[in-house]
Structure 1
């Protein structure tokens, strides 16, 4: 498993957090129980299987629902 950290645009409401968490959790290869969206820090943290998905796919899932990803990194 790899860990991804996505720096998001400033989040306006808790509903935004839920939408983003849901979009990330729906990506095949993401460990659904690991998805955490931090409201005050405007960050998302997630563990994923690099053999099934990658950082670009996770980032695109967030962008597809209308939110900007300012920076993304995996380790």
Structure 2
């Protein structure tokens, strides 16, 4: 398992958290996705044999939340 944090642009609403966590949680290989509202970070734990960090980043960005680091 791999754990990676993704820095997002500042989040503006709590519903953003649920949207991101729900979508990432449905991805094959993602064991856990936790959004930290105050720091605008996503912490994802995933099986890097099934899904890559770039795929997770792409999914977040497709939802409309730019990843800046």
TM-score (norm 1): 0.87
Structure 2 unaligned residues grouped into runs of 5+: none
Is 1:24 aligned with 2:35? no
Any runs of at least 4 consecutive aligned residues in structure 1 with deviations exceeding 4 A, and if so which?
none
Aligned to 1:10: 10
- The number of equivalent residue pairs is 69
The answer to whether the 8 A contact 1:36-1:44 is kept is yes
Is 1:60 aligned with 2:40? no
Secondary structure of the structure 1 residue equivalent to 2:16: helix
Secondary structure of the structure 2 residue equivalent to 1:6: strand
TM-score (norm 2): 0.94
Structure 1 unaligned residues grouped into runs of 5+: none
